Structure formats: C-alpha cells, structure tokens
C-alpha cells in the first residue's frame, strides 16, 4: 500500500498562458514570435475552458500567493489580457476554478472582469491581487481558466500580445 505524505514544502510562483495552454487536451502548442497563432472560439452563452494546468504526482497547487510586502494588501498581482483576431480587446468575465480529474467536483476560486485583470501588471494598487486560496488541487486534478465574453468572438493567443501572469502556490 502506498504511503501518502502530505506536501510540506511550499513556494509561490507565477504561471503564464504557456503553462495553461500546454495543459489543454489535445495539447496546444504555445505560440512563438514566428507563429502559429492559437485561436479559440468563445461564446457569450456560457463559460469556455481556455486553459488548464494538471497537478503532477506529489504536488498540490492552488491559485494565488501571498506577497510579503509591508503595508500592502495580501495577495500577488494577477494580470491577463484577451484579444480577438483583429487585435481588439475582448471584454468579458474570467473564472478560476479547481477541478477533479473527471470534472465532477468543481471549486470556484475567483471571478473577475477582463477590464480589471488587464489594468496594470506593474502596479499593486491597480492590479487584481489574488491571495492564496485555502483549498488545493491534488494529483491529476486541474487548475482551470474559463472565459465568457460579453459577445461571441474568437480569442487569439500570440506570443507578443497575450500575457497571462497568474500567481499560484505549489506544495511538494
């Protein structure tokens, strides 16, 4: 019988769109400066899965991390931008969720408007601060990003225009 030992080491990090695109099934090759551009249709009738990270063996991961910044609000800056194939910003709502491997048990973590998430990646006063969420995704589960635009559109991921900086905490 395998022995389960609770992860004791904890470290905060930041995942990018490349991390979340690599977790999609089938695997989506992240765009490079030479291409290809990755596009995905998104509908305003419901939330569309646009990225996920699978938790590896021996790890637990959750959205958010706590910055040790004196006299500042808890949480690390979260930044995301969304463009369509005409390079216009797509307004809408973004959801962060934890999901079990079968997608049967889903834990909502946070929901934000794209206008707020794309405000500023360098300013703690303008950025969305995402503190470490108390629940963690375990082995073979997923951290997922869902998107619902205000109007149906085509989301385009490019290496130069699309930037996701999503703080997470990894336990191992």
- Give domain status of residue 24, yes or no: no
Tokens read off for 141:
């589960």
Looking at residue 68, what is its pLDDT?
A: 65
- Give domain status of residue 132, yes or no: yes
- Give domain status of residue 20, yes or no: no
In the chain, how many domains are there? 1
Looking at residue 87, what is its pLDDT?
A: 84
The set of long-range contacts for 99-108, using a CB threshold of 8 Å and a minimum separation of 24, is: 99/52, 99/137, 99/141, 99/142, 99/144, 100/141, 100/142, 101/140, 101/141, 101/142, 107/135
User: CATH no. for residue 134?
Assistant: 2.60.120.1180
Looking at residue 26, what is its pLDDT?
A: 52
- Give domain status of residue 143, yes or no: yes
- Give domain status of residue 15, yes or no: no
- Give domain status of residue 161, yes or no: yes
Per-residue DSSP letters for 74-89?
A: SSEEEEE--EETTS-B
Q: Which domain holds residue 92?
A: 38-171
pLDDT digits (tens), the chain, 172 positions: 344 455 568 889 999 888 888 777 655 555 555 555 677 888 999 999 999 999 999 999 999 998 666 655 688 889 998 888 888 889 999 999 999 999 899 999 999 999 999 887 777 788 899 999 999 999 999 999 999 999 999 888 776 667 889 999 999 8
Looking at residue 25, what is its pLDDT?
A: 60
Distance CA 71, CA 85 (A): 41
- Give domain status of residue 19, yes or no: no
Looking at residue 160, what is its pLDDT?
A: 65
Distance CA 101, CA 23 (A): 12
- Give domain status of residue 130, yes or no: yes
Tokens read off for 120:
């500023």
Looking at residue 47, what is its pLDDT?
A: 94
Radius of gyration of the chain (CA): 16
Looking at residue 1, what is its pLDDT?
A: 34
């Amino acid at each position: 019988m395998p022995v389960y030992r609770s992860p004791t080491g904890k470290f905060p990090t930041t995942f990018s769109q490349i991390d979340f695109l690599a977790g999609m099934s089938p695997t989506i090759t992240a765009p490079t400066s030479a291409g290809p551009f990755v596009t995905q249709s998104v509908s305003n009738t419901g939330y569309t899965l646009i990225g996920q990270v699978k938790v590896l063996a021996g790890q637990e991961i959750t959205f958010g991390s706590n910055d040790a910044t004196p006299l500042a609000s808890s949480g690390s800056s979260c930044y995301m931008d969304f463009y369509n194939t005409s390079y216009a910003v797509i307004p809408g709502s973004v959801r962060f969720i934890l999901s079990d491997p079968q997608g049967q048990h889903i834990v909502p973590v946070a929901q934000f408007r794209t206008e707020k998430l794309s405000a500023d990646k360098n300013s703690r006063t303008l950025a969305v601060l995402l503190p470490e969420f108390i629940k963690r995704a375990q082995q073979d589960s997923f951290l997922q990003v869902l998107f619902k635009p205000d109007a149906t559109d085509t989301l385009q991921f490019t290496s130069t225009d699309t930037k996701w900086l999503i703080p997470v905490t990894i336990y191992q």
